[in-house]
Amino acid sequence: MYLCLGCGSNLRFDIATQRLKCDSCENSYDVREYDEIKYKEDTSMETPEDKAFYDSVVLSCPHCGGEVITNDENTVASYCSYCGASVVLERRMQGVKKPQKIIPFAVSKEQCRKNYKDFVGKAFFVPKELKNDKYIEQFRGIYMPYWTYEAAHEGELHTKAESKPERHGDYLYYDCYKVDGTVRDKQKGISFDAEATYDDELSKAIEPYDYRKAQEFSPAYMCGFFGDLPNVPEKIYSKEAGDISDSITKQRIEKISEFKDMDFDKGLQDDISKIRKMEKGESTLFPVWFLTYRKNDRVAYAIVNGQTGATYADMPASIKKYIIFSLILAIPIYFILEVAITMLPTTLLKLVELVAIVAVILYFCNVRKVKKRESHEGDKGYATLKADTKTEINKISKEEGNNVKKSKLSSLLLKLDIWVVVFVILIVVVSFAGITNFIGNIMPFAGILTGIVSIISNFKEDENVKRAYISSVGIVILAITMIISGVVDVIKPIQDWINYIAIAILLIGIVSCNMAIIRKYNVLATRPLPQFDRKGGEQKG
Ligand SMILES: [Zn+2]
Ligand SMILES: [Zn+2]
């Protein structure tokens, strides 16, 4: 506990002054000075084992098992930052292993809320709950555990290089060099988040942190904040950290002006790795403002880098908002088409066919991105995680594999202006350039073909993709309506009402396809509820 030496009230770490502050009597203390005063009295009794741990209040969620620590005994936490459940967290006192370093919070909660509002403010389709002030108030400052690595390259390097080729007649000439030299290079703060359930994609979204601002750890920095504990062993990232440091040194060598017209031997990075000395990873706490939105059995996170203010938020879309928006947009479009251009129903049908084809393309781009992301997760970082660790961590890393982040394309779809631009371009093209006879004639066939192809590709999807996205029904509806309206367009009925009916059912198809895109997008934009499995790890009972 950190108590005011003047009045005995709880102290908090003040971000603006980077000092411990008492809100009752306005006293403030330097972190180091306070620790010296505090620990002067009772250090004689401490063993090295005691020094490695410090007493903390551990708050754990009865729903997901997620834990945060705090050093304020009076904290009552009434919701869980990981699964978003509104529940009073269970508390216990526990010795917690001390991290070595900490980057203190530098971005205030006010600034954090402002950054978040700017971030979600532009996204029109985001559910209004996500912009609610009361919800935004729940941002919680959490120190997330990272492993930070330090590597040095020192020694003699012997490698080869060749100049850019020069052509003489039928021959290419290279100059070959032997390059010998002494390398001295050092990298600090190569960092990886050490909480397996804190999705790597999520943590990367608000990096980098400036490691040079890291301080020796003191529990004082935690006053008024929460902390999380590492559950990934240090050695998991040490190889990757080594590789990264090698490639940094390699880039630095290649940038030296004398070498700029040369290509180094492929073995350069291997040679560099031979002169690398690597320190054991240090446990470091990085500051993150954390906000959780829960709907049914999915969660969406918003995070703000507590040092730089970099912001990321999972942004699901509200189907209700989409429908309202479509209806509102339909009114001006109707007037433009009917009043200003006095368009023939047959021309209008062709225009709607064009919109339908655009919707199909967007849909399949989205599906492809989902698949790409999923397969990417299957083989990369997590595979190495599985290879060198215990079964328990295996389990956690597998659960994390379900997390997917939204694709860039689908996030574009959420922006109001993109849709307006698409519609305006189509209207301008149709009204001024006119649909030429050629395009007009192939349009129904293009529509029919797109319909058939999308039905086939939808049923060719493997079972996993289909099960994950029940919404594929939306694309089938659009495909069928495209075929029907295409046929109508080919027959060219004289009665206007038949054309209008074809237009109407095609519009229904487009709307159902767009709703399918949004549902799919929402699976991407949110995450399954986390499940924590905390056995062993960094705690002392
Ligand atoms: Zn005081
Ligand atoms: Zn929870």
Q: Where are the beta strands (DSSP E) in 261-326?
A: 262-264, 276-278, 282-295, 298-305, 311-313
Question: Is the pLDDT assigned to residue 537 strictly greater than 70?
Answer: no
Is residue 215 very low, low, confident or very high in pLDDT (cuts 50, 70, 90)? very high
Please give the DSSP secondary-structure letter assigned to residue 537: S
- Write down the pLDDT at residue 372: 62
Give 84 Cα–ligand 2 centroid separation in angstroms. Answer: 6
- Write down the pLDDT at residue 374: 54
Of residues 312 and 267, the one with the higher pLDDT is 312
Give 431 Cα–ligand 2 centroid separation in angstroms. Answer: 56
Is residue 21 very low, low, confident or very high in pLDDT (cuts 50, 70, 90)? very high
3-state secondary structure of 21: strand
Give 61 Cα–ligand 2 centroid separation in angstroms. Answer: 5
Residues 76-118 pLDDT 10s:
888 898 888 888 999 898 888 999 999 999 999 999 999 999 9
Which ligand is nearest the CA of 10, by number? 1
Neighbours of ion ligand 1 (CB under 5 A): 4, 6-7, 9, 22, 24-25, 27
- Write down the pLDDT at residue 287: 96
Question: Is the pLDDT assigned to residue 256 strictly greater than 80?
Answer: yes
Give 30 Cα–ligand 1 centroid separation in angstroms. Answer: 14
Question: Is the pLDDT assigned to residue 46 strictly greater than 80?
Answer: no
- Write down the pLDDT at residue 284: 95
Q: Are 326 and 511 in contact (CB under 8 A)?
A: yes
**Which residues are CB-contacts of 229 (< 8 A; sequence separation ≥ 6)?**
67, 69, 96, 97, 145, 195, 534, 537, 538, 539
Dihedral angle of Cα 8, 14, 19, 24, to the nearest 10 degrees: -30
On average, the pLDDT of the chain sits at: 79
Give 106 Cα–ligand 1 centroid separation in angstroms. Answer: 23
- What tokens appear for 403 in the block? 């997390």
The full 3-state SS of 92-155, as one line of letters, equals: EEEEEECCCEECCCCCCHHHHHHHHHHHHHCCCCCCHHHHCHHHHCCCEEEEEEEEEEEEEEEE
Q: On the CB side of 275, how many CA atoms lie within 13 Å of its CA?
A: 20
Residue bearing tokens 């058939």 = 452
Beta pairing class for 140-163 and 276-278 = antiparallel
Which ligand is nearest the CA of 87, by number? 2
Question: Is the pLDDT assigned to residue 264 strictly greater than 80?
Answer: yes
Region 320-338 average pLDDT: 73
Please give the DSSP secondary-structure letter assigned to residue 280: P
Interhelix angle 437-460/345-379, rounded to 10 degrees, is 30
Which ligand is nearest the CA of 8, by number? 1
Cα separation, 282 vs 152, whole angstroms: 15
Task: List Cβ<8 Å contacts ≥24 apart for 322-327.
Answer: 322/125, 322/514, 322/515, 322/518, 323/511, 325/124, 325/125, 325/416, 325/419, 326/511, 326/514
Cα separation, 503 vs 480, whole angstroms: 13
Question: Is the pLDDT assigned to residue 29 strictly greater than 70?
Answer: yes
- Among 148, 139, 102, 136, which residue's Cα sits nearest to residue 287? 102
Question: Is the pLDDT assigned to residue 276 strictly greater than 60?
Answer: yes
Which ligand is nearest the CA of 90, by number? 2
Give 88 Cα–ligand 1 centroid separation in angstroms. Answer: 29
The full 3-state SS of 405-457, as one line of letters, equals: CCCHHHHHHCCHHHHHHHHHHHHHHHHHHCCCHHHHHHHHHHHHHHHHHHHHH
Question: Is the pLDDT assigned to residue 331 strictly greater than 70?
Answer: yes
Cα separation, 20 vs 57, whole angstroms: 19
Region 414-418 average pLDDT: 53
Which ligand is nearest the CA of 21, by number? 1
Give 422 Cα–ligand 1 centroid separation in angstroms. Answer: 61
Give 29 Cα–ligand 1 centroid separation in angstroms. Answer: 10
- Write down the pLDDT at residue 210: 93
Question: Is the pLDDT assigned to residue 194 strictly greater than 70?
Answer: yes
Which ligand is nearest the CA of 25, by number? 1
Region 389-393 average pLDDT: 46
Q: On the CB side of 505, how many CA atoms lie within 13 Å of its CA?
A: 16
Share of the chain above pLDDT 90, in %: 20
CB-CB neighbours of 223 under 10 Å: 20
Q: Are 103 and 214 in contact (CB under 8 A)?
A: yes
Least confident of 166-175, 254-263, 317-326, 330-339: 330-339
Give 305 Cα–ligand 1 centroid separation in angstroms. Answer: 30
Question: Is the pLDDT assigned to residue 311 strictly greater than 90?
Answer: yes
Which ligand is nearest the CA of 9, by number? 1
Is residue 464 very low, low, confident or very high in pLDDT (cuts 50, 70, 90)? low
Which ligand is nearest the CA of 26, by number? 1
Least confident of 135-139, 171-175, 184-188: 171-175
Of residues 14 and 349, the one with the higher pLDDT is 14
Q: Are 232 and 195 in contact (CB under 8 A)?
A: yes
Handedness of CA 439, 443, 445, 446 (dihedral sign): positive
Which ligand is nearest the CA of 529, by number? 2
Question: Is the pLDDT assigned to residue 541 strictly greater than 50?
Answer: no
Least confident of 79-83, 196-200, 394-398, 455-459: 394-398
Is residue 373 very low, low, confident or very high in pLDDT (cuts 50, 70, 90)? low
- Write down the pLDDT at residue 338: 67
Cα separation, 451 vs 474, whole angstroms: 12
Give 104 Cα–ligand 1 centroid separation in angstroms. Answer: 22
Cα separation, 522 vs 312, whole angstroms: 16
Region 450-464 average pLDDT: 73
Q: Are 157 and 180 in contact (CB under 8 A)?
A: yes
> What are the φ/ψ torsions at residue 9 (nearest 5 degrees)?
-75, 165
Residue 60 bridge partners (DSSP):
67, 90
Which ligand is nearest the CA of 3, by number? 1
Which ligand is nearest the CA of 292, by number? 2
- What tokens appear for 532 in the block? 């924590």
Cα separation, 470 vs 93, whole angstroms: 46
List the chain domain ranges: 109-316+528-540, 319-525
Is residue 540 very low, low, confident or very high in pLDDT (cuts 50, 70, 90)? very low
Interhelix angle 473-491/345-379, rounded to 10 degrees, is 150
Of residues 414 and 137, the one with the higher pLDDT is 137
Cα separation, 151 vs 144, whole angstroms: 22
Using alpha carbons only, how large is the chain's radius of gyration in Å?
30
Q: Which amino acid appears at position 221 of this protein?
A: Y
Of residues 363 and 97, the one with the higher pLDDT is 97
- What tokens appear for 515 in the block? 């709703």
Give 520 Cα–ligand 2 centroid separation in angstroms. Answer: 25
Prior bond of 230 cis (ω within 30°) = no
Interhelix angle 319-335/416-428, rounded to 10 degrees, is 30
CB-CB neighbours of 255 under 10 Å: 9
